[in-house]
């Protein structure tokens, strides 16, 4: 029991937008129509620890994205370092970086955090180094091959601190994880990452189109829904453009 430790707030840090095919969003759709989706990072402030959930795109990937993707939107303010600056932080002030998984739009900014503890599931870390051919384009070694960085590799659900709990949520990838944050006023929130792209995925139990194991992805979605129901919490999906319009953006916070 860590007396005095308290979760104080949750900040949404927008990291731009990209285009994505509906067939990539929904397992049972075959439409190549593209939709604009947000790229999200989140910061959890506790009384003594700063925890970042996901790091978005690598800054060096942004020019190519803007050249090749007509739906991409990325401003100077969308850079993660500028979003952190909005809440008065530099990368070195972040104690823990929780990576939902190591896809390029979640682990792209990990290199910004040489002083932080980088936290991923062991299975994700090893798969990312030797992915199946169909997943190679989602994993860039430069994003997570970081000599001298401190990794903490987990094996399943883990309470990081009182009120901040990692929930294993495989399926989209072999070692995906989500984060349950118990806020003092707003109540519990589950940051799903790509275990739940949109609210529609939770509501209608739809599996992501980009998926390593669709059956496990469905089990994880149900697990997150069950936990949300039991703790009377809310699901904050990973890439939902409609939800994103309703999100309080940093420097505002969910308290």
- Tokens 């118990």: give the residue: 182
DSSP string, 147-213: TT-EEEEE-S-EEEETTEEEEE--SSSTT-EEEEEEETTTEEEEE-GGGSSSHHHHHTTPPPSS-S-
Residue 176 makes contact with Zn ion by CB under 5 A: no
Q: How many residues bind Zn ion (CB under 5 A)?
A: 2
Binding mask 21-50 for Zn ion (x = CB under 5 A): ------------------------------
Q: How far is the CB of 185 from Zn ion (least distance, A)?
A: 31
Q: How far is the CB of 82 from Zn ion (least distance, A)?
A: 23
Segment lying near Zn ion (by CB under 5 A), choices 10-18, 90-98, 186-194, 217-225 = 186-194
Give the residue with the Cβ less far from Zn ion, 39 or 44: 39
Cβ-closest position to Zn ion: 103
Give the residue with the Cβ less far from Zn ion, 122 or 150: 122
Q: How far is the CB of 238 from Zn ion (least distance, A)?
A: 8
Residue 54 makes contact with Zn ion by CB under 5 A: no
Residue 194 makes contact with Zn ion by CB under 5 A: yes
Instruction: Give residues 55-114 in contact with Zn ion (rule: CB under 5 A).
Output: 103
Give the residue with the Cβ less far from Zn ion, 45 or 101: 101
Beta-ladder partners of 179: 166, 191
- Which residues 6+ apart lie within 8 Å of 184 measured at CB? 6, 7, 8, 255
Q: How far is the CB of 221 from Zn ion (least distance, A)?
A: 14
Q: How far is the CB of 100 from Zn ion (least distance, A)?
A: 8
Contact status, residue 154 vs residue 166, Cβ threshold 8 Å: yes
Which strands form 7-21's sheet, in the order they lie side by side? 7-21, 34-46, 50-53, 96-98, 117-121, 150-154
Q: How far is the CB of 194 from Zn ion (least distance, A)?
A: 4
Compute CA 198 distance to the chain's CA centroid, rounded to the nearest angstrom.
Answer: 13
Instruction: Give residues 130-159 in contact with Zn ion (rule: CB under 5 A).
Output: none
Q: Which residues bind Zn ion (CB under 5 A)?
A: 103, 194
């Amino acid at each position: 029991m860590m007396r005095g430790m308290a979760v104080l707030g949750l900040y949404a840090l927008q990291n731009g937008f990209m285009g994505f095919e509906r067939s990539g969003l929904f397992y049972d759709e075959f439409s190549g129509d593209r939709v604009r989706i947000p790229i999200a990072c989140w910061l959890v402030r506790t009384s003594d620890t700063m925890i970042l959930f996901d790091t978005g795109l690598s800054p060096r990937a942004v020019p190519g994205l803007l050249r090749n993707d007509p739906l991409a939107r990325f401003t100077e303010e969308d850079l993660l370092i500028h979003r952190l600056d909005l809440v008065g932080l530099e990368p070195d002030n972040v104690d823990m970086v929780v990576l939902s998984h190591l896809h390029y739009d979640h682990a792209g900014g990990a290199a910004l955090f040489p002083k932080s503890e980088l936290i991923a599931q062991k299975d994700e870390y090893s798969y990312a180094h030797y992915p199946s051919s169909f997943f190679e384009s989602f994993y860039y070694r430069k994003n997570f091959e970081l000599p001298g960085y401190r990794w903490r590799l987990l094996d399943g659900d883990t309470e990081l601190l009182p009120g901040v709990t990692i929930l294993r949520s495989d399926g989209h990838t072999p070692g995906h994880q989500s984060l349950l944050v118990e806020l003092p006023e707003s109540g519990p929130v589950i940051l799903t990452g790509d275990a739940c792209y949109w609210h529609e995925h939770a509501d209608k139990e739809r599996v992501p189109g980009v998926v390593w194991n669709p059956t496990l992805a469905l089990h994880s979605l149900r697990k997150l829904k069950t936990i949300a129901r039991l703790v009377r919490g809310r699901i904050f999906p990973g890439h939902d453009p409609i939800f994103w319009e309703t999100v309080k953006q940093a420097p505002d916070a969910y308290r």
